[in-house]
Structure 1
Amino acid sequence: MGKDVAPAMPADNEEAEPALSVSAAMGLAKDALEGVVVRLMGEVSEVSDKPGYKAVYFTVKDEKASLPCMMWMNRYQAAGVPLSVGALVELTGRFSLYAAKGRMNFDVFSVTLAGEGLLRLQVANVARELEAMGLMAAERKRSLPVYPEVIGIVTSPRGSVIHDMLRTLRRRYPLARVLVAGVPVEGPGAADGLVDGLAKVVFAGAEMVLIGRGGGSFEDLMPFNDRRLARTIAACPVPVVTGIGHETDTTIADMVADVRASTPTAAAEAVAPARAQTEGRLDALGQALHRAEARRLEGASRALERLESLPLFREPARLFDAEALAIDDLSDRLGRALPDALRERQHRVGLLAEAVARMLPATLARPASQVSLAQSRLAMRGPMLTDRPAAACARDGQRLRAVGEHLTDRFRNDVAVNAARLHDLSPLTVIGRGFSVARDASGTVVRSVGQVRAGGALTVAVADGEIDCTVEKTRRIDAAIEDWKEDL
């Protein structure tokens, strides 16, 4: 078995070094520590930032150790990094020893966020910038259409999010037409894809747009903290609803959106009214419309009754009382004034007739003498005016008769020849040579025995008249020839 061995003590004869005081030992340690400047990384476990303090006190730790830190207030404010429990920070400083208490601190020169903490700082800076621009103001945000006809969805085409949103819309509001823009929702280029998808569904006619994705780490949600995406959402001409991550996740896209839902499914429920709610509202509107129409009809009925009770409609003739009295008055005045006016007109007409009678003979005397003179002149000169035309007409008539007698000479011979030909072709000439023409009762010339029957009436035309006959029997030419041969 081993035994505990005490550390060796200096021999009595050896000269021992003088002992240091506590303050001297602490000063020696302080000088040694303050010469060590290091850069370290750790997680903030506690923070003390009280008003009036000259420094900020906090502790950083890792899996095996913790280190108290202090940072003078002027350095902390210049760094612009708000310290919070759980933040991963990168520190630069030196070790310091507070001799009065015997405590060691890490005097921090600079601090920056590391890992997710840096990302959160960047996001916070973008959020402050957009807030200063007024993009997160509540008065800028728009209300959602109650019954949209076209709803746009911008999310990943794979995974459960798109199926949950479509299933919710189909269940709650199947009347809407859904436009889906499938885009990446994490990784490089995801923010640009979200901006492009948002523009496409709006251009295709969406009345509102849903932007969603499932849960993930802070780094996975960084595309939804993109400055360009946030400004695109704010400038979108239609309302935008976001459902990103879980209820505890909040991105810049949520802050600038018109409506922020806790999950993608909640976002779909926010834009789609429930069927029962829609039916209830329609019933309420129908009842309100019924009541309003009933009140309107009742009011119109009362107004009609009031109009019906007016004396004007009970005695319509009174409507024209004033006009009837005016007509009677004018008729009476006209009856009194008309005879006087006629007598005055008759007197004036008589005076005009006397004046015309006195003036007419003298007025017509001169034109009558002029007419007589012109008539005598015309009687003397009239025969002279027609002598020359009469002589010319006589000469032309003699020439026309002389020429006309010879114009028909060459036509007379042609007419005679044609008349002879017509005479030769005339049926009368044929009949005159001993032939005859038979006609039936309708006057049709009989050319075949098939046109008549036994007992039928015929009229036979000969040279000097007609013979009425009755058909006893008919024979065709071949039978008649046979009979003639027999007779021979």
Structure 2
Amino acid sequence: MDLIDDPTPGQNAHEYTVSEISGAVKRVIEGEFGRVRVRGEVGRVFRARSGHLYYDVKDDRNVLACTTWKGQLANLSVMPEEGLEVVVTGRLTTFGAQSKYNLNVEEVTVAGVGALMAMLEKRKKALEAEGLFDPARKKPLPYLPEIIGVVTSPSGAVIRDILHRLRDRFPRKVLIWPVAVQGQNCAPEVANAIRGFNALTPGGALPRPDVIIVARGGGSIEDLWGFNEEIVARAAAESGIPLISAVGHETDTTLIDYVSDRRAPTPTAAAEMAVPVRLELLAWVDGQEARLSRALGRGIADRRQRLTDLSRILPRPEALLSEPRQRLDRAEAALPTALLRLVDRRGADLARMGGALRPSVLSARIRTDRDRLATWEARLAPGLTRGIRQGAERLEALGRRLRPAPLAERVARQRVDLERISPRLETTYRARLAKLSDRLDALDRMRQTLGYKETLQRGYAVVRAGDAVVTDAEAARAAGRIEIEFRDGRVEAQAGGAARPKGKAKPPEQGSLF
């Protein structure tokens, strides 16, 4: 009766704890749905510091929270990006701590080609805005590289086509960096290969390539998607080595084509861009050699003809030398006469100077200068002493006549100045006398040098007839007895013989100067 009259219904319902109800909901959701595939547009994307990825998948009305753990990221073929339409696969679960449910995503695929192209266009615009597609950044390819680096699959037909084409055109050393050319490992391996080639040391044990070829055969857009990843585009843009992209066929275009230095429509075309044709190069060298030989031959022939033409204009050597030879002959003929005139002129000058410097004249001049010097000395010495004494007496008298105190000081100063100047005057006087005495001695030595006594020392002699000096043969014959003075004494002699007519003396022999 008590139970019937109980006013509170539902008292017999089971009471759950929060954890129990959360666990029940978790079991129901995971058991009901299990592994599901959900299509939608990627919304907010957030990567936590722990490495886990949190993002939303939404449609026009609802939002589904998605989580991909750090260990699952490596298995994703497509990385979620905001605005990308995808199909996510995973397990639906709950998070009781916040009363939320979410999808633990294990696989992400793009929902159709249109979504892929939209994402590609978005990446392309972002990279173009950064300037990675600027033609000014593109590097020229080397004309003939020593080493070619190839980034591709080592087991595909692409590497065989490249090697075959290089062998046909111009064999070069090839370094192959094996990579996956599709799938989730494609993008990181290709980026690491480009950076690895750039990290090699030029001239090292493993040489650094001169050009890099990134190659892959044709395929769908999904197969080529690894070359549309941003990591690959940035690695190609950062490459310091010129890079050729050869991904897909001629109609296929990937993001690496825009940032590479050259785009090749096929891997075979990339090999053709990397090296020239060896036979064509040899033919070009042969052609240049032939042109050079013809140019040299033509130049030599032109210069030979010009030399021949100029040689006709030049006069004969005999005509060039005839006039100078005649001038030389005239000078040779006139030289003896000119020499004789020069000797006669110099002799006359010497005789004139000798007459002016005769011993008697020099002796008289020296005696006159010596007497004058003695007179100056006799007059100057007493005069200086007397002048100094008179000046002192005058100063003293003047001092007595003027005021005593200042004038006495002034007289004292002037006396001191006079006493200081007196030695200088005496020194100047004695220096002047010494200079005049030296000059007089020099003139005396010159007189002795120019006197006839010095001439006798050089082998000459003086002929006298009595006291007169005989200077010609006629006077000597007329005198009869003559006296000859040598340097060490005098000898008497008798003059005789027929006299030679005056002016008919035999001239001295004059040898030829030539």
Task: Report the TM-score range of the alignment, normalised by the length of the smaller protein.
Answer: 0.3 to 0.5
Normalising by structure 2, we get a TM-score of 0.41
Normalising by structure 1, we get a TM-score of 0.43
